[in-house]
Chains A and B, each alone.
Chain A
Amino acid sequence: MYDCIVIGGGVVGGTILRELAKYKLHTIMLEKQSDVCMGQSRANSGIVHAGYDALCGTNKAKFNVAGNKMMKEYCAELGVKYRNNGSLVVAFSDEEKSALKELKSRGEKNGVDGLKVIGIKELKKMEPNISEKAVGALFAPTGGIVCPYELTIAAIGNAMDNGAELLTDFDVVRIEKRGETFDIFSKDGREVKGKMLINCAGLGGGKIAALAGDDSVRVMPRKGEYILLDRESGNFVSHTLFFAPTKLGKGVLVSQTVDNNILVGPTAVECDGTDTTADGLKYIMEKSREMCPNLPLYNTITSFAGVRAFCDRHDFIIEESAKVGNLINCVGIESPGLTSAPAIAKYVAEEIICKRLLPEKNEKFNPVRKPDYFFKNLSAKDKNVLIKRNPSYGKIVCRCEQITEGEIIRAIKENPPARSVDAVKRRTRSGMGRCQGGFCQPQVAEILARELGVLFEDVTKSGIGSELVTEKIK
C-alpha cells in the first residue's frame, strides 16, 4: 500500500514526486510510456517565464511567479543547467508598444520584479540581430531558460534516489476506489494500491480523472512545432524574444537554449500528435524571420512537435476532486507549467498531502543530484581523475556533443534508468547534435544491449515497437 501514487512522469509529476520524497511517505510514480518525460515535458520551449502573461489572480500567475523565484536554486540542487538570460517582448508598432505597458503593469501586480519598457536603441544594444522594424520591448530580467527534460529527469531521479519508486510502461486502464484507497490496474495486468492519487497525466489527465470517478475534467491538446538550430549559431540571440501575446498564446519565440542552440517556435494548433507539418514549419520560419531577418535557418539540425494539454478553465487545476476524495488533479498545466512546476509541487506536497497524511519529515532526504556529466564542462584535471577511475570516460561516443561512453553507461544505470536510444539522448545529449545520431547511434545501441543484457535486435529507439534493426543477417 502506497501513501501516494503519482500518475504521469512529466515535470509536474516529477517535481511532486521529489517534493513528497522530503517526507516519510511511501510513494510511487506510474508512467504509461517506456520512459519518463515522454509527453509535453519532452518538447516545449524550455522557458522560465517571468510571470507577466498570466491574468492576475489565476493559478497560472501565482505559481509562475513563485516557480520563477525558486528555479535557480532548484536547478542548482539537481545539477540542471539554468540560465537567467532575461526575456524581451518585442513590439513592432506603437500600438503594440502601448500594449507592453499593460503587460508591465499586469506583471507588476503578479509580483514580477524589474520589468522595464525599453526603446529601440536599448533593444538593439541587447539584441543586435533584431529586426529593423522593432520599435521597443518589455524587458523581463527574471526570465530564464532551462532544459525541460533534464529538469524532469533530474527531479524524478532525485526522488528515486531518496526512496520513491517508478513503474514505466504502466498504462492505467482501470481505477477502483475501495473505501479510502485506490486500486490501479495497468493494461499489462499489474496492480498498484495507494491512499492518495495525484493525477499529473498531462494529456491523459481527463481520462485518469474519469477512471477514478470524476468526469468533470476536460483536457484538450494543442500542438506546437519547433525548429532547432546548430550550436554554431547559438549566440545569434541571447535573450528569449517574444512577440506581443495574442489570444492564442505567446506565439513564436526565438531563444537561446541552455545548451546553446537556438530554438524557434512554437505553432499553436488545437490538435493531437507530435508530427510536424510543412505549413507549420513554414510558418515558424516566416515568423522567426520577422523577429530576426538574418536568422541562420540554414543551420537547422532538427524540427519537432510537442503537445500541450490545456483545460476548458484555461487555468491550472490543482485541487482535490470535488467528486472523488483523495484524488488530487493537477491538470491543464500548459505554459507556464514548466516554470510553475517546483511551486506547484511544493503547494501540492505541503498544502494538500501533508495536511491530509501528516507525514514526518524525511531527515535523510538529500536534495543534491550530482551528475558527473556533462563531462565536457569539467576541467582537464577533473576529467583525468574520472578517466583514471573509469576509463570509459575517455571514450567519446557522440562526437558532436562530446559525450563519453562513461556518461552513457551512467545514464543507463542511474535513476531513472535509460532503456532506449532516445532515453539515453535525453539524459546525456548523445545524438542531440548536428549529425543527429548518425555516427553515435549504432554505438549507443551496442552499449545499451551490453549494459541491459539484451540482444542488439531488441534495442529500441523509444520503447517496444521502435526496434532499430529488424533481424540479424546471416
Chain B
Amino acid sequence: MRNCDIVIIGGGPAGLAAAIAAYDNGVKNILILEREERTGGILNQCIHNGFGLTRFKESLSGPEYAARFIEEAKKRNIETLVGTTVLSLSKDKTITAINSTDGVFTVKAKAVVLAMGCRERSRGALNIAGTRPAGIYSAGTAQKYVNIKGYLLGKEVVILGSGDIGLIMARRMTLEGAKVHAVCEIMPYSSGLKRNIVQCLDDFGIPLYLNHTITRIDGDNRVSGVEISRVDENKKPIAGTQKYFHCDTVLFSVGLIPENELTKGADIPLSPRTRGAVVYQNRETLIGGIFACGNVLQVHDLVDFVSEEAEIAGRGAADYVLCGSGEKSPIDTTNGRNVSYVLPQKIDKNVAGDVKLFFRVSNTFRNCTVKAVSGEKTLATRKKKIAAPGEMETLTLGSNVVESVSEPITVLLEEEN
C-alpha cells in the first residue's frame, strides 16, 4: 500500500484546480487519479467557446481552459495516474484503484478530494414510451462521438431538454450538416444559459418548444420519428396536442447527476437537494479529511465556479494535512422561499474568513431580491433584475457577519410587490 498526503479522485477541471491549490498551500505529496487516458475531463470534448470569462477575462474553448490547468499541474510536477479507475473509497481514506500497469492497488491518504464530476440522466430514467432503436443518445455522448471521434450521428434530429449541452449540440450538429427540427423543454423555461438560446438556436432558426416533452419514440433498427406533446402545469402530456417529427436521431439533455457512488460507498452523508455531499465552507464533507468539489458536489453551469470551488477544497485539504482538524462550531444553512438549495450546507464558525454561499432559485423571477437571513437578522442581500434556475447565484457573508451568527442561515428570494 502506498501513502500519500492528498489523493484527488478525478483529473477534470475540479481535480486539477484542487491539486494546484493544495500544492500552493504547502502540500507537495499529491496524487491525481484519472480514469480517462488524459486529464481535462469533460472539457476535452467541449470545443465551443465561452469558458473562463470570469477567471481569465477571455473566451476560451473547453480544451484551452483545461490546458491552462494541465500546464500549471505539470509545472508543479503533481503526480497523475491516467487510465486509472477508483473502485472504492473507505472512510479511513483508503482508496482502491485499478489500471493496466499497476493492477489493483490501494493508496492510503491523509486527505482525499472527491472530484468525479457528474453523469447525464439517460432516456431510460424518464420512462418515455416507445422502442429502443439506434439513434438515441444523451447530448454529452453525442458530443463525444462528434467532437472526439469525428462522426456524425444522424441527419434529422430532435432534442429533448434545453440544458446547455443540448443547446450546444443543436448548433454543433447543425454546423456539421444535420437538420435539428426541434428542441423540446418540459419546463416553461430553458435550463440553459440565455446566450446559448440566442447563439445556438435563434442563430440557426431552431425552434424551442417550451412546456413540451417527447411522448413516444418510434423505429425498429434506427429511430424513425418522435411524437411530442404539450404538457400541463403538472408536466403531464395533454391529449390532442401531439406533433410528429420524422427523424433519425434523438438527443437527451435532461439533467446531470453528480457521480457519488464512491461517496456513498464511504458512507459520506449526501444532500438530497444537490445529490452531492453535505459540506462545510472549506468543502470538507461530514467525514473529516474528505473534501468534495466541482460537479460531484453540485452541478455547475460555469467552469469558472468549478475552479473556484475546487481551489477552496484544495486549500481545505492542504490545511487538514498540515494542521489537522480543529473543533467545529457549525451553523446550518437552508433554502428558504423560492430557493432550491444552498451550498455549503454547514458553516464552521471556527474557521476565519468570508463565506460565499452558492444557491439556485426555483423558478424564473424578475426584479427580485435574494437574501441570506439568520433569525431576525438579514446577513446579505442583493437585488436582481432577473434570476433563473439555470444560473447559479451567490451571496457573500463577511467574516464578521459569520462570527455574529447564532441561528441557522436561510437563503431566500423575495419578489417585488
Q: B100 contacts A395, CB within 8 Å?
A: yes
Pick from A278, A303, A462, A466: contact of B124, CB below 8 A: A303
Query: Which residues from chain A sit less than 8 Å from chain B, CB to CB?
Result: 227-228, 232, 273-278, 280-281, 300-304, 380, 383-384, 387-388, 391-396, 399-400, 402, 434-439, 441-442, 446, 456-457, 460-474
Partner of A474, one of B125, B150, B218: B150
Are A396 and B85 in contact, with the CB atoms below 8 A? Answer: yes
- Whether a CB of chain A sits under 8 angstroms from the CB of B266 is no
Chain B residues engaging chain A, CB cutoff 8 angstroms: 35, 83, 85, 87, 96, 98-104, 119-120, 122-125, 127, 129-134, 137-138, 140-141, 144-146, 148-155, 176-177, 215-216, 218, 220-222, 237, 248, 261, 264
Complex CA distance for A372 and B35, rounded to whole angstroms: 22
Chain A interface mostly: mixed
- B175, closest chain A residue (CB): A473
A472 touches B129 (CB 8 A): no
Chain A residue numbers with a CB within 8 Å of B220 are: 465
Given A301-B124, A442-B144, A465-B222: A391 touches B151 (CB 8 Å cut-off): no
Q: Are B130 and A472 in contact (CB under 8 A)?
A: no
Chain B residues with CB under 8 A of A464: 221
The chain B residue with its CB closest to the CB of A397 is: B85
- Given A380-B96, A394-B100, A395-B99, CB of A276 within 8 Å of CB of B129: yes
- Given the known interface contacts A466-B134, A470-B155, the answer about A391 and B222 at a Cβ–Cβ threshold of 8 Å is no
Q: Could you tell me if B140 and A473 are in contact, using CB atoms closer than 8 angstroms?
A: no
Q: How far is the CA of A280 from the CA of B100 in the complex (A)?
A: 45
Residues in chain A near residue B129, CB distance under 8 A:
275-278, 280-281
In the complex, residue of chain A having the shortest beta-carbon distance to the beta carbon of B153: A469
| Residue in contact with B134 in the complex, picked from A280, A396, A436, A460, CB distance below 8 Å | A460
Residue of A nearest to B218 (CB): A275
For A470, what are the chain B residues with a Cβ–Cβ distance below 8 Å? 151-155, 248
Do the beta carbons of A388 and B154 come within 8 Å of each other? no
Majority DSSP secondary structure for residues of B touching A: mixed
Contact A274 B153 (CB under 8 A): no
The answer for the CA separation of A469 and B148 in the assembled complex, in Å, is: 13
Verify A473–B151 contact, CB threshold 8 A.
Answer: yes
Bound CA–CA A303/B87 (angstroms): 27
Cβ contact within 8 Å between A472 and B151: yes
**How many Å lie between the Cα of A463 and that of B220 in the bound state?**
11
A462 adjacent to B221 (CB under 8 Å): yes
Chain B residues with CB under 8 A of A276: 127, 129-130
A–B Cβ pairs within 8 angstroms, 12 of them: A275-B129, A276-B129, A300-B124, A394-B102, A394-B103, A396-B35, A399-B35, A436-B124, A438-B138, A465-B220, A466-B222, A472-B152
- Could you tell me if B125 and A275 are in contact, using CB atoms closer than 8 angstroms? no
Chain B residue with the shortest CB-CB distance to A284: B127
Give me the 6 closest cross-chain CB pairs, A-B, nearest first: A302-B124, A465-B221, A394-B100, A469-B151, A466-B134, A391-B100
Query: Which residues of A are found within 8 Å of B127, using beta-carbon distances?
Result: 227, 276, 281, 300, 303
Q: Provided the pairs A302-B122, A438-B138 are in contact, do residues A383 and B176 lie with their beta carbons within 8 angstroms?
A: no
Q: How far is the CB of B317 from chain A (nearest CB, A)?
A: 24
Residues in A neighbouring B145, C-beta threshold 8 A: 442, 468-469
Distance in angstroms between the alpha carbons of A262 and B145 in the assembled complex: 31
Q: Which residues of A contact B148 (CB under 8 A)?
A: 442
CB proximity of B319 to chain A, nearest CB, Å: 31
Contacting residue for B120 out of A277, A396, A435, CB 8 A: A435
Chain B residues closer than 8 Å to A392, beta-carbon distance: 100
Given known A274-B131, A300-B124, A465-B222, contact A442–B119 (CB-CB < 8 A): no
Beyond A436-B122, A473-B151, 14 additional contacts (C-beta under 8 Å) are: A232-B264, A301-B122, A303-B127, A383-B98, A387-B104, A391-B101, A436-B124, A437-B122, A438-B122, A463-B221, A464-B221, A469-B151, A470-B154, A470-B155
